[in-house]
Amino acid sequence: MQVRRLTLIVVLFLCLPLLAYVLLPLGGLFGRVSLRQFGSYVCCPQVVSALHISLYTTIISTSLAVLLGTPLAYLLAHCRFRGREVVDTLVDLPMVLPPSAAGLALLLAFGKQGLGPYFHFSPLGAPAAVVMAQLFVASPFFIKQARAGFEAVSGNLKLASMTLGASAWRTFFRITVPLSSRSLIAGTTMTWARALGEFGATLMFAGALQGRTETMPIAIYTASTTNLPAAIVLAATLVAVSFIVLVSAKLLLGRAAALP
């Protein structure tokens, strides 16, 4: 018992530097926000517009990541085919690309020098460009988590379900999805969080038009050069919203774990 307590104390002591490194900037941020400043800037048009754009674009991009990423995650988890590792690498690539490079690639692919004129489609300067940038950089987070969840489901359970007469679709929705729910929730949350914090690719591809493509991270950057108190309030609001969503996701994960 003494050894166990000593080990716990040592581990906690080793964790303190990293915890302090995370908490100190957050403390410095919220320590600079007064209620008066918060009340003055949180309802200003720029903050309301940026928060609105961020919320609805991230909801759309996360929904698309789940809709389009689930079949791909299932394919990578259960199918063996030539070129599988290449596909897996392509899925991982946006996670390691510099955001500016990702934004430039999107610009060249869908801008005036890419496919845009051929399909009479120009997302530049529109919320659709924000969604496309977020989807590009954030979707791998869902696919990786969903794949891990699908791989963890026992093949015997799916085989038993199909042996009892359930179709492949029914087996997927009644067996695979419930047993993978923790991974799916975690992947969805991480995808949303990554989309909410996206800056570089969005700025390069969509621009920074207030009321159209200026998301919260872009608004923070813009305000930091002209109005530091407003930038601080924007940053504190973004941190608070992210914290609330992450806590909510953890509560959902806890409930998913408690289900039989």
Instruction: Return per-residue pLDDT of the chain as tens, 260 residues.
Output: 667 777 878 778 788 888 888 888 888 787 777 777 666 666 677 778 888 899 999 999 999 999 999 999 999 988 888 888 899 999 999 988 888 899 888 888 887 766 655 555 666 678 888 999 999 999 999 999 999 999 888 878 877 877 777 777 888 888 888 888 889 988 999 999 999 989 989 988 888 888 888 899 998 888 888 878 888 888 888 888 888 888 887 787 776 555 44
State the CATH number of the domain containing residue 205: 1.10.3720.10
pLDDT score for 63: 96
pLDDT score for 122: 65
Q: What 3-state class would DSSP assign to 227?
A: coil
Q: Check the CA dihedral 154-157-163-169 and report its sign.
A: negative
* Locus of tokens 């504190």: 236
pLDDT score for 37: 67
pLDDT score for 19: 84
The answer to whether residues 170 and 234 touch, using CB atoms and an 8 Å cutoff, is: no
Residue 130 lies in a domain: yes
Query: Of 202, 173, 178, 96, which is closest to residue 140 (Cα–Cα)?
Result: 96
CA distances from 20 to 13, 30, 236 (A): 11, 15, 18
For the chain, the maximum distance between any two Cα atoms, rounded to a whole number of angstroms, is 72
Q: DSSP code of 121?
A: -
Residue 14 lies in a domain: no
CA distance 194 to 61: 11
- Domain around 61: 38-258
- Helices 216-226 & 228-258 angle (0-180, nearest 10): 160
Residue 140 lies in a domain: yes
Residue 101 lies in a domain: yes
- Note the helical H segments in the chain: 2-31, 35-41, 45-78, 84-96, 99-110, 127-152, 155-163, 168-171, 177-179, 181-196, 200-206, 216-226, 228-258
pLDDT score for 233: 83
pLDDT score for 120: 54
The answer to whether residues 227 and 32 touch, using CB atoms and an 8 Å cutoff, is: no
pLDDT score for 1: 63
Residue 68 lies in a domain: yes
Domains of the chain: total: 1
Residue 220 lies in a domain: yes
Residue 169 lies in a domain: yes
Residue 21 lies in a domain: no
Record the tokens describing residue 177, joined without a space. Answer: 């999805």
